[in-house]
Amino acid sequence: MRNLYAALNNTEALNNEKDHIMVTIRLQGTTRQITINAMIDSGATEDFIDKGFCSKYNIRTQAKTIREVYLADGRPSAMEPITHTAKVPMDIGSHRELAIFQVAKLPNHEVILGMPWLKQHSPRIDWCQGKITFESERCTTWCLKESPTVYAIPENVAREENLKVEFGVGQIKKDQRVKVKKLDLQAKIPTRGSAQAAAHDLYANESKTIPAQGQEVVRTGISITPPRGTYGRIAPRNSMVVKLRIALNAGVIDSDYTGEIKVVLANMGNQDYQVKKGDRIAQLITETIVESDCYEVQMLKETNRGQQGFGSTGTSKAQICEISARAFGRLYRRPDTTTGILKYSKKEGRINLESVNISTELAIKSGKYEKQRQLEEMVPPEYHEYLDVFEEREKLSYHLTDRGWTWKSNSKKERDFRSKRYMHSPRTN
């Protein structure tokens, strides 16, 4: 069986004002009533309600035989096949009925009242004036409570109001109040310190001493039920933390917990703290819950951070070595050293203070010496334990003679001026 949705393109684009008007309706979901603007369309051969709209507002649907949706010219519609129907109590003014909709994916509307609805109620519609009158025998007998006439609203106004509904603006205001039950007649109801305060102050319902460097549980004498979709969080009072060093531990109140609220006060100071009955000891904040479920997977998405845990962000792994004032003074007074610098050792993972010969450093950077050659490559292995005594300017060639290892300068001027030899013989074990 084909479901012909005539002139869908014109209807969805609201280009043809002669066969449709917009009217305000009220639908009763499972948890609340939703006000929305529906389109009465004489070109639609079925009554439709949007699939996403049903899901968002908990409108119950029932499975049915799958039906494809076609346009009046026989072409398939862009809507998905219809797999469910929805029976929803619907009010239009004082006209009340149990409407049956085909649940479909509507691109531009939430509810469309088509030919089935028009034939069932036979309303008299003044398309030009936007006036709808329910005067059929069925309506006057079963559907109407008061006036039989309702009026359409401008399409631009209807679309704007529907957008507000889509994004949760302008719907029935939720009760955001916290229900409080006194478990003791002398208990105090939480209060706000100012009109725009984010939290309510909680009061102690008993006197108790909080020992230094210790903690105690203080009763409040009340139980609460937070607004739907929220939970209660107990937070410390700023003045108590800063001035008295009184913090708190724990603090989550589940929405289904109806027992007494108790506050765990922790004394971080060195003196005992006395809580008196009626003192403000903490703050109650209501926060939104994201009701999510946990499920097992075999693999998680890879991230740059990976398994790096505590202290892995915003800190450096390098350790700075300690140096005494005396050692720093000796380093500074060395004649061959202009200053000291901090150098990071990747191998050791630490930062060390090292002496620097400025002329040597500048010569190396300017390319005066062969920077690419490593000192270990130039000095025989048996002398590697003495590498720290070689200066950068001595990174030149060595030659073995009958008197030991002889150093030769690459500078002719310096070679003519003097001859320098290192008479260290190879070490024997």
Listed range (36-40, 81-85, 126-130) with the worst mean pLDDT: 126-130
pLDDT value for 380: 67
pLDDT value for 297: 87
Strands (E) in 238-338, as ranges, are: 246-249, 252-253, 262-267, 273-275, 280-288, 319-320
Please tell me if the domain spanning 3-166 has the same topology as the one spanning 179-288.
no
The whole model's pTM is what? 0.38
pLDDT tier at 30, thresholds 50, 70, 90: confident
- pLDDT beyond 90 at 81: no
Length of the chain (residues): 429
pLDDT value for 377: 66
* Greater pLDDT, 393 or 158: 158
Domain boundaries, the chain: 3-166, 179-288, 317-356, 372-429
**Fold that domain 179-288 belongs to in CATH:** Deoxyuridine 5'-Triphosphate Nucleotidohydrolase; Chain A (2.70.40)
What integer is the mean pLDDT of 76-100? 86
- pLDDT beyond 70 at 173: no
Percent of the chain with pLDDT over 90: 27
Give tens-digit pLDDT for 101-138.
Answer: 999 888 888 999 999 999 999 888 887 888 888 888 88
Find, among 323, 314, 319, the residue nearest to 349 by Cα: 319
Listed range (92-96, 243-247, 300-304, 317-321) with the worst mean pLDDT: 317-321
pLDDT value for 392: 45
pLDDT value for 418: 43
- pLDDT beyond 90 at 100: yes
pLDDT value for 422: 42
Q: For the domain 3-166, what is the CATH code? A: 2.40.70.10
Give tens-digit pLDDT for 186-237.
Answer: 999 999 888 778 899 999 999 999 999 999 999 999 999 998 889 999 999 9
Contacting residues for 343 by C-beta, under 8 A, at least 6 apart:
351, 352, 353, 354
Question: What is the chain's mean pLDDT, rounded?
Answer: 75
Contacting residues for 280 by C-beta, under 8 A, at least 6 apart:
201, 202, 203, 204, 237
What integer is the mean pLDDT of 396-414? 48
Q: CA angle, 376 as apex, 375 and 378 as ends, to 5°?
A: 65
Rounded to whole angstroms, how far apart are CA atoms 202 and 181? 13
